[in-house]
């Protein structure tokens, strides 16, 4: 998944499946491009009942938008 594709999920309810098998659902509140992030990997931040969770681009297996 490219940075451009990843940024399209900001502001949406999403379900993320990580490469380690972890599944996380929630509202994507932030997209951070690689140049503004440390380490220099793009990421999204998801807000749900667990709080805020940052997920790096290289950890993401799949993302889907949740429609209600």
Q: List per-residue pLDDT tens for the chain, 68 residues long.
A: 899 999 999 999 999 999 999 999 999 999 999 999 999 999 999 999 999 999 999 999 999 999 87
Fold of 3-65: SH3 type barrels. (2.30.30)
CB 45 within 8 A of CB 54: yes
Instruction: Output the pTM of the full model.
Output: 0.91
Question: Distance (Å, rounded) from C-alpha 16 to C-alpha 54?
Answer: 11
pLDDT for position 1: 85
DSSP H/E element including 62: strand 60-65
DSSP H/E element including 61: strand 60-65
């Amino acid at each position: 998944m490219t940075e451009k594709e990843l940024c399209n999920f900001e502001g949406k309810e999403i379900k993320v499946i990580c490469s380690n098998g972890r599944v996380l659902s929630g509202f994507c509140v932030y997209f951070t491009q690689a140049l503004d992030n440390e380490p220099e990997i793009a990421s999204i931040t998801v807000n749900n009942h667990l709080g805020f969770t940052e997920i790096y681009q290289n950890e993401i297996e799949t993302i889907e938008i949740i429609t209600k």
